[in-house]
Amino acid sequence: MRMIAILSSVVFALASLAAASQTPAKAPQDPQQLVAQTPPMGWNSWNFFFEKVTDKDIRNAADQLVATGMKDAGYVYVNIDDTWEGQRDANGVLHSNEKFPDMKALADYVHSKGLKIGIYSSPGPQTCARYEGSLDHEAQDAQLYAEWGIDYLKYDLCSFIPGVMQKQAHDDKAAQMRLMVAAYAKMDKALKAAGRPIVFSLCQYGWDAVWEWAPSVGGNLWRTTGDITPDWDRIYAIASQQAGLERYAGPGHWNDPDMLEVGNGKLTLAENRSHFSLWAMLAAPLLAGNDLPNMKPEIKAILTNRDVIAIDQDRLGKQGTRAYSEGEVDVWTRTLSGGAMAIAVINAGDSRYSTHPFHLNLNQLGLHGPQSGKDLWTGKPITLSDGQPLELARHDVLLVRIDAPR
Ligand code: GLA
């Protein structure tokens, strides 16, 4: 698994190197850019509820974001994923299904809590869960979202692949990709015409170097990989695939390594911490996906760690880089505003490092001499020295902020 992750990240990095050297910038007056100046933060229904989500679950999530202090920590989007869609009426107007009796009332409720609301669709005839998609109804759907007061749209390729790309372009891959880009551009245009700033989230699993063209079709974030699962190997593989993509991220346009699994499945506390730390280093959108009403205190402590969130939300918007790897330890660095820096050391291996301590090489990070910082998981001051042996538990992380690196 680890070898596959390394190989795929090497292939990925090479592909990125060969790619265009400049990220297409969006015009600063573009309202869609202004909505995501820092990576979007919130909660999405999919990773815990999947297709079972209801209106009540969304209201509960909104209530819990407020009650747990997550809203105050920055989590503002409450995003309904797939399976809210009903049928179109004779005029083509889409209605929500019986699980969501009144979308406008739901949006009003979420807004009344000082939060924002997101929704989900597909450019294809159907969504991934085989509910109604937006194909040929883009303008109508965008208008509907605006009328309901929707603030965020996740647009998931899915049935557009067999339904349009393969049907219309057969085996011509380049023509298929042009159809895909045009489909996202079409929804971007529809959202802009609807007149409400709506965060536009592209979900097409990183195909066709999406990071190169997503900003030009109004994308505020774009998935870079297939789906995440609450499992360390998958989380680590996804994080590894982000190395090399850092130059495509910035205010208004972000790489999206998928929604958080913090608090889901059988992830250990160390794995939850490492997952959250990596996403912060990656300037990733922080969309929690856990069972908020039953959140354990230690999970809440991870999701609301203000110091870690501040790394993610740093206003410079510079995504972190994997500085080097040694054995099964990865060292990531991130440049922060005001000349500060974050360092994350991840033990991706299955053993504790007490028998084989890892020696942090500060020179390799461009640092000289001992560095004073803050350990963001203990909250205590820490001094890092060159060659200092570090002991990290299995899948655990050392995350340090250095305000004045030398
Ligand atoms: C795809 C997406 C997931 C989720 C599901 C919903 O798999 O990648 O994030 O939205 O569809 O059906």
- Give pLDDT tens digits for 34-84: 899 999 999 999 999 999 999 999 999 999 999 999 999 999 999 999 999
Residue 10: its pLDDT value, please? 37
- Which ligand 1 atom is at minimum distance from the Cα of 127? 12
pLDDT in tens, 144-202: 999 999 999 999 999 999 999 999 999 999 999 999 999 999 999 999 999 999 999 99
Q: What is the rounded average pLDDT of the residues 89-117?
A: 98
Q: What is the rounded average pLDDT of the residues 208-223?
A: 98
C-alpha to C-alpha distance for 271 and 292, rounded to whole angstroms: 19
Residue 1: its pLDDT value, please? 39
Structure tokens at 144: 């509907």
Task: At 341, give phi and psi (nearest 5°).
Answer: -150, 145
Which of 45, 49, 53, 81 has the most ligand 1 atoms within 8 A of CB, as the residue to mutate? 81
Question: How would you classify residue 96: left for phi > 0, otherwise alpha for psi between -120 and 50, otherwise beta?
Answer: beta
Q: What is the rounded average pLDDT of the residues 326-343?
A: 96
Which residue owns the Cα nearest ligand 1 atom 5? 128
| Ligand 1 center from residue 160 Cα (angstroms) | 14
Residue 206 pLDDT > 90, yes or no?
yes
C-alpha to C-alpha distance for 63 and 292, rounded to whole angstroms: 9
Residue 127's SS3 state is coil
Q: How crowded is the C-beta side of 156, counted as CA atoms within 13 Å?
A: 23
* Residue 82 known to be catalytic: no
CB 242 within 8 A of CB 248: no
C-alpha to C-alpha distance for 253 and 214, rounded to whole angstroms: 8
Fill in the DSSP letter of residue 209: G
Spell out which residues line ligand 1, taking CB within 6 angstroms. Answer: 46, 81-82, 127-129, 156, 203, 227
4/386: higher pLDDT: 386
CB 13 within 8 A of CB 6: no
| Ligand 1 center from residue 390 Cα (angstroms) | 38
Residue 355: its pLDDT value, please? 54
C-alpha to C-alpha distance for 217 and 211, rounded to whole angstroms: 11
Residue 323 pLDDT > 50, yes or no?
yes
Instruction: Provide, rounded to the nearest whole percent, the portion of the chain with pLDDT above 90.
Output: 89
C-alpha to C-alpha distance for 225 and 223, rounded to whole angstroms: 6
Structure tokens at 155: 């647009």
